[in-house]
Amino acid sequence: MAETGAPSLPQSPPPHTSVARAERFVWLTARVLEQRLFAHHFRGGAADPVETALDAYRNEDGGYGHALEPDLRGPVSQPLHTAHALRVLDAVGRCAGQRVERICRYLTSVSTADGALPAIHPSQRGYPTAPFVPVVDDPPSALLATGPVVGLLHRNEVWHAWLFRATDFCWQAVESLEESHPYEIEAAVTFLDSAPDRPRAEAAAGRLGRLVRAHRLAALDPDDLDAYPVSPGYAPGEHHFPYDYARTPQSLARAWFTDDEMARSLDHLAAQQQEDGGWPVRWRQWAPAPALEARPLVTVEALRTLRSHGRALG
């Protein structure tokens, strides 16, 4: 009697390289946008599919919403979503044209009185939002939101009237910092890495580097994390490392750290890849969906950082 049933298929061997393990994780867990970003960065994928996926988050006002930044839920445009969209466009070489013109019009519409961006626009009220990004009626200007946007626009040689006052705000904010926290420092670095006045940017970056080391805002010894304080409001163990500030060797922040400090931090980053192939989310997790959506984002960025510093991914 003949056997019945479907034939057994050969089993693929489990992936062993960092990038192959991450790819499997991305296909298992990521949104379409991160799937296409992974394909673009690591499998030679085109930029057009990335742009198409990003369009799903774009609103009529030129801004972006719909939980593009996972910790802000709901449909409304927000500066943090729009900064995220600019990072995507920059990563695929599409940060130009009418799309960016519409973004700049949106930025103008939500700017504060001094021409900069609030971290959260009050339109977010009523939608689920991470507890560490409170919604207030009259939010102040924030370097955290403005610095990355201004930096990416300058990096891509975008010129728009909105940039003039926003750039002035960033200079004033960066050069007056006496105390800070890691995410604000990262925002300042994104601004300084592309600010048009290079001597001024180098001087400001040198001062920031001294502040980071003096206040121990970078964990220089991953084997002794208890020696480094966690900033107020951060999750327990939410340390930041040299690679968080110097995502590429070309960053001004790279000069803040010795070769040995940088190497140890990259070793630590590589070792954080988990059994499922993804990297962990280090900030506070407040709901299941934002945590799930954030891990592929973190995974793609970890791989890009390692590759930019010359680490082999397999």
pLDDT of residue 9: 43
Q: Please write the tens of the pLDDT for every residue from 26-68.
A: 999 999 999 999 999 999 999 999 999 999 999 999 999 999 9
pLDDT of residue 14: 54
C-alpha to C-alpha distance for 52 and 36, rounded to whole angstroms: 10
Q: Mean pLDDT throughout 7-19?
A: 63
Q: Mean pLDDT throughout 106-112?
A: 98
Residue 8 has pLDDT above 60, yes or no: no
Read off the pTM: 0.93
Structure tokens at 250: 């070309």
Share of the chain above pLDDT 90, in %: 94
Q: Mean pLDDT throughout 161-175?
A: 98
Residue 12 has pLDDT above 60, yes or no: no
Q: Please write the tens of the pLDDT for every residue from 205-239.
A: 999 999 999 999 999 999 999 999 999 999 999 99
Q: Please write the tens of the pLDDT for every residue from 133-154.
A: 999 999 999 999 999 999 999 9
CA distances from 246 to 23, 56, 77, 189, 193 (A): 24, 31, 29, 8, 10
Lowest mean pLDDT among 8-17, 174-183, 243-252: 8-17
Structure tokens at 290: 């934002």
What lies within 8 Å, CB to CB, of 42 at 6+ separation is 19, 23, 303, 313
Q: Mean pLDDT throughout 244-272?
A: 98
Task: Show contacts of 22-25: CB within 8 Å, 24+ apart.
Answer: 22/273, 22/277, 22/278, 22/299, 22/300, 22/303, 23/277, 24/277, 25/276, 25/277, 25/278, 25/295, 25/296, 25/299
Instruction: List residues bridging with 72 in a β-sheet.
Output: 129
pLDDT of residue 13: 47
